[in-house]
Amino acid sequence: MANSTAIIADAFPKDELGKALGINLMFISVGSVIGTILGGFLVSIGWRSIFYMNLPVGIIGTLWAAFQLREVYSYTEKQKFDWFGTLMFTLGMFSLLMALTIGSFSGWLSIEVITMFVIAVVAMIIFVLIENRTIQPMLDLQLFKARVLAFAFASNLFNGIARGAITFLMIFYFQGIKGDDPMTAGILLTPMALSMFLISPISGILSDKYDSRFLSSLGLMISAVGLFGLMWITADTPTFVLLIWMFIMGLGSGLFFSPNSNSIMGAVPPNKRGIASGVRTMFNNAGNVLSIAISMAIVASSVSPEAMQGLFFGTQVGSQGIVVDSFIGGLRLAFGISFGFSILAAILSYMRGPAPKWKNTHCEKPA
């Protein structure tokens, strides 16, 4: 995911970058639609089959990339990989994500969760110290000194927190409250991906001509409208009403991602595109995990462990083991928190400044 954005930025001129990124997101949306429906079908066969499906896809994609992709830019300076920094970063992020995942189910005060949080903090402190002293760091912290990049990354993080758990929560709702089977629940989630499919190339083209800051911020506000609608969900809310709110959310996300990525990739020189794209993806993924952790912590008290496991594996259809009123209250609270983060992301997105001017294509600091 990170490298695809960098490859596109290398392959297209700056005045067509938004359109190219929009088309890329359009295909990701198509994959999301197919994957969601196919996943619902495969669960009926057995949840392990979902992972077996990745084998041929991964093999074909790897071979195609090996034979078709070529470097556009060549770098003459000697490149060194930041092994120690990468090790500390991996340890820190792994510990943090594991702590958030386990804590949302097992409780935040367990010894293993607290230990992993401590390891994460120590590892990330060591990582920052290493990156500030390394000539060719894994994560160039100088990127965060450019206002446009810092705020674009931050809005990406908070957008991930705002929308990361929506798929999980709505799957739980459709299967647990509405009594839909996994495949039907998967189909009911497609409006978000379909609206992203429709708007992504358009938003990309617009970002080549107009201010990415305005487009990104507008997209986040539209997402907030969809989340505001979901805040009023009840056990009896008509399905078509929920589909409309999810469609609006997808429109907002599609309008946000392409211009925001265009703003980031257009603000860095060629030799920093991989790092910039990686940071963008990292913040988005971190936001998704945080979103799931927060949401699961909110709704877990209203769902028995057996029902929770059944919802994850697709074997739970119906509200057995679910305290419906408490579960709906948890959903509404989770959507309310997501709404707040979407508004915050929109504000941060609009606060970004002009693109930095780099001294040269191989420099370490912005001018």
Instruction: Give the Cα separation of 269 and 263 in Å (integer).
Output: 12
- 74 in any annotated domain: no
| 235 and 163, same domain (yes or no) | yes
- 318 in any annotated domain: yes
| 246 and 323, same domain (yes or no) | yes
Instruction: Give the Cα separation of 58 and 164 in Å (integer).
Output: 24
| 127 and 258, same domain (yes or no) | no
| 313 and 339, same domain (yes or no) | yes
- 359 in any annotated domain: no
Neighbours of 256 (CB within 10 A): 32
| 87 and 228, same domain (yes or no) | no
| 133 and 273, same domain (yes or no) | no
Give residue 240's pLDDT: 94
From first to last of its 367 residues, the chain has per-residue pLDDT tens of 788 888 888 888 888 888 999 898 888 888 877 887 888 788 878 888 888 888 998 999 999 999 998 877 666 667 788 899 999 999 998 998 888 778 766 777 889 999 999 999 999 999 999 998 888 888 888 888 888 899 999 999 999 999 988 988 898 889 888 888 888 888 898 888 889 888 988 998 998 888 888 999 999 999 999 999 999 999 899 999 999 999 999 999 999 998 999 888 888 888 788 888 888 988 998 898 889 888 888 887 777 777 766 666 666 666 677 778 888 898 999 999 999 999 999 999 998 866 666 555 444 444 4
Give residue 367's pLDDT: 44
* Residue closest to 343 by CA, chosen among 226, 198, 240: 226
Domain count, the chain: 2
Instruction: Give the orientation angle of helix 2-11 with respect to helix 239-265, to 10 degrees.
Output: 50
| 58 and 119, same domain (yes or no) | no
Give residue 248's pLDDT: 96
Please answer whether residues 26 and 194 qualify as being in contact, where contact means their C-beta atoms are separated by less than 8 angstroms.
Answer: no
Give residue 246's pLDDT: 94
| 107 and 244, same domain (yes or no) | no
**Contacts (Cβ under 8 Å, ≥6 apart) of 145:** 365, 366
| 64 and 206, same domain (yes or no) | yes
- 108 in any annotated domain: yes
Instruction: Give the Cα separation of 281 and 159 in Å (integer).
Output: 12
Neighbours of 64 (CB within 10 A): 10
- 60 in any annotated domain: yes
| 193 and 282, same domain (yes or no) | yes
Range of the domain at 106: 83-137
CATH code of the domain containing 292:
1.20.1250.20
**Contacts (Cβ under 8 Å, ≥6 apart) of 53:** 38, 42
Token reading at 240: 């078509």
| 133 and 168, same domain (yes or no) | no
- 75 in any annotated domain: no
| 156 and 129, same domain (yes or no) | no
Instruction: Give the Cα separation of 330 and 297 in Å (integer).
Output: 9
- 73 in any annotated domain: no
- How do the residues of the chain divide into helix, strand and coil, expressed in percent and rounded to 5? 80, 0, 20
* Residue closest to 317 by CA, chosen among 183, 167, 179: 179
Instruction: Give the Cα separation of 180 and 43 in Å (integer).
Output: 13
Instruction: Give the Cα separation of 10 and 118 in Å (integer).
Output: 39
- 76 in any annotated domain: no
Give residue 361's pLDDT: 45
